[in-house]
Chain A
Amino acid sequence: MTKELMQVYQKTVLEHSRKPHHFGKLVNATHSAEGFNPLCGDKVTVHLTMNSNGTINEASHETTGCAICMSSASMMADAIQALDSAAANALCSQVHTMLTSDSNDNPPGMPLKSLEGVRTYPSRVKCATLPWQTLLTAMMGETLTTTE
């Protein structure tokens, strides 16, 4: 197996994809959004319970997709529990920059940083960004987003 491929499918990524964290519905969700990638059929649903000042009390996801999409959603759900909306937005933008540019400035911490290798695979970047795009959609109070 080549080094580049191991960079993408790191142990952490595979572990999250096999046993995704915070998977399922949220009984008291205040915000839910669905995200689709019509080109590959990936689908991520993000559920949030947010309080009145915009803090995410709890987050979950229901994802059907590849290992990259699944682990990105799983790591995201771990990372955003109890974040306020400013911090969640900032994290979204850190992850987005890491996945879509060559910049190494201000990357997110581990385990999210383990998704960095995906950026060398242009055809797979949207697999990793879809959960985050869906999170932003849910936080804005909207219910649907697509990658195309």
Chain B
Amino acid sequence: MNSPLFNIDSIRAEFPILQQQVNGHRLAFLDNAASSQRPDAVIDAVSDYYRNDHANVHRGVHHLSHRATDAYEGAREKIRAFINARSIREIVFTSGATESINLLANSLGQTMQAGDEVIVSRMEHHSNIIPWKLLAERIGIVIKVAPINEQGELVLDELAKLFSKKTKLLAISHVSNALGTINPVADIVALAKQQDVLVLLDGAQAIPHGKVDVQAIDCDFYAFSSHKMCGPTGVGVLYARESLLENMPLFMGGGEMVIAVSFEKTIYNDLPYRFEAGTPPIAQAIGLGAAVDYLEGIGMDKIAAYEHHLLELATTALSDIEGLRIIGTAAKKAAVISFVFDDIHPHDLGTVLDHQGVAIRTGHHCANPVMDFFGVPGTARASLAFYNDAEDIEQLVKALRVAVDMFR
């Protein structure tokens, strides 16, 4: 689909990693939900920073420290605008979505007591289950699980029944990594607000695929990772509503998060810095800022529309393969297709596809409860990004037919 609005060939040309052969074949990279690839703009931003500007941030009076600080804080402002937060005080840099959720569990957890309830859903990634389980083991909170249906959609009526006077938080994914389901997050937040319950959205799989507006959604917390949205690994974000963050107990201690320290008294830094102990991932945050510029240069709405087109193309093509069953058929889906064959194990598929230059993920996708629900040990998952094209899908289908011939 080359058009003046979305020129896929020129987009692909900006991703150097895609210009290679794997096992003698053109690379069809369809494992974007695990981690995306980076355009030149992001690679250059990180490289330029290290070549020209690096020093520690918020510390030195010297020139490079100023430059590094300006670039780092500039990235924070880009991210604020990208998700439409009210203030940079609401943007906490972390190491990724996992740390963002752990930060919240450790901080907010200090305000909870035994018997308090956190609601999650059956479709969560382990990173939005284990931090709450740890809290349950440590202080005795109770985890309630919202069910999903056969299509892999949240059952909202059942979710609504889980709220009680003891519910402190609803922690739920915006988009499922294993199924592709896009949850109706604004409706879910409205439901929680009626019950006076805070909402954390795990946005790791949503943020690369369309416009996220935290004010429109009205969530209290939003967690995401840079590496799934064309940015560097090792950095992520916790968006937190300022009025809540202002009163949240501290998580990690160290430099950067304090203004003055004596053994008698500590004065903590302002928001968001008091949640960013230690030297932050400076280059990575700057790279994330470059990724935001890059994505906005294309346009999140155009990315969403193009990926939807790819998803339809891939769903139709895969459905033609005999014996292939798609797991996750929600009415609203991101471009993630999990599938199984009754008689071919996902790992065998993964190896045979890899031999034909096709990279997919196989296994449980860090979502064991989802696999248990559908009664499969794992799935094969093709996850698409805006730099994939129809040729990638053709290559996937061709490689799957080879695998089917081989194993039947």
Contact = CB atoms under 8 A, between A and B. Distances in A.
Interface residues of A, number: 21
B371 interface: yes
B195 interface: no
Contact of B351 (A14, A42, A43, A124): A124
A41 B377 contact: yes
B352 A40 contact: no
A124 to B, nearest CB: 6
A2 B23 contact: yes
A2 B24 CA distance: 10
Contacts of B355: 1-2, 4-5
B407 A14 contact: yes
A126 B310 CA distance: 35
Interface residues of B, number: 19
Nearest to A14: B407
B378 interface: yes
A121 B354 CA distance: 11
A2 B378 CA distance: 26
A79 interface: no
A72 B348 CA distance: 14
Given A5-B355, A41-B378, A124 B347 contact: yes
Nearest to B405: A1
B66 to A, nearest CB: 46
B297 to A, nearest CB: 36
Contacts of B363: 39-41
A40 B347 contact: yes
Nearest to B376: A41
A40 B363 CA distance: 5
A67 B402 contact: no
Contacts of A43: 377
A68 B348 contact: yes
Given A2-B24, A40-B363, A66 B406 contact: no
Given A41-B371, A66-B345, A5 B351 contact: yes
Given A14-B407, A42-B377, A5 B352 contact: yes
Contacts of A2: 23-24, 355
Nearest to A4: B355
Interface in B323-375: 344-348, 351-352, 355, 362-364, 371
Interface in A35-63: 39-43
A9 B188 CA distance: 48
Contacts of B352: 5, 9
Nearest to A124: B351
A64 B342 CA distance: 12
Given A1-B402, A4-B355, A39-B363, A66 B347 contact: yes
Contacts of A41: 363-364, 371, 377-378
A40 B24 contact: no
A82 interface: no
Contacts of A65: 345, 377
A83 interface: no
24 contacts: A1-B406, A2-B23, A5-B351, A9-B348, A40-B364, A40-B377, A40-B378, A41-B364, A41-B377, A41-B378, A43-B377, A66-B345, A66-B346, A66-B347, A66-B348, A67-B345, A67-B348, A67-B407, A68-B347, A68-B348, A121-B351, A123-B351, A124-B347, A124-B351
Interface of A: 1-2, 4-5, 8-9, 14, 39-43, 64-68, 121, 123-124, 127
Given A41-B371, A123-B351, 8 more contacts: A2-B23, A14-B406, A40-B378, A43-B377, A66-B346, A67-B345, A67-B407, A127-B347
By Cβ-Cβ distance, the 5 closest A-B pairs, closest first, are A41-B377, A66-B345, A66-B347, A67-B348, A66-B348
